[in-house]
Amino acid sequence: MAKTFDVSFSGEAASILQHAKHAADQAGATLRGDENGGTFSGKGVEGRYEVSGHTVHVTITKKPIVVADSVIESRLRDFFKER
């Protein structure tokens, strides 16, 4: 079952996504897309994101059964967090 959560930001979407792509790369994951939306995958986790206004809507579509949703959500929130 998919898990969805939102991450709010106040800056520019392009800046948030640049940071997210860098963080994903550093974590051995892939984030593809732009300021409107895209996909991510790595270490058995897959999902998508969509940007609407100053909110990133993140949906986890696949994850390892042994990893808690909260652990994955926390890590992904760090990817999309404002710096």
Token pair belonging to 37: 């939306």
3-class secondary structure, 63: coil
Residue ranges of domains in the chain, CATH in brackets: 3-80 (3.30.310.80)
State residue 63's pLDDT score.
Answer: 96
DSSP letter, residue 11? S
State residue 81's pLDDT score.
Answer: 87
State residue 8's pLDDT score.
Answer: 95
State residue 1's pLDDT score.
Answer: 73
Residue 83 clears pLDDT 80, i.e. is over it: no
> How do residues 24-70 score in pLDDT, each as one tens digit?
999 999 999 999 999 999 999 999 999 999 999 999 999 999 999 99
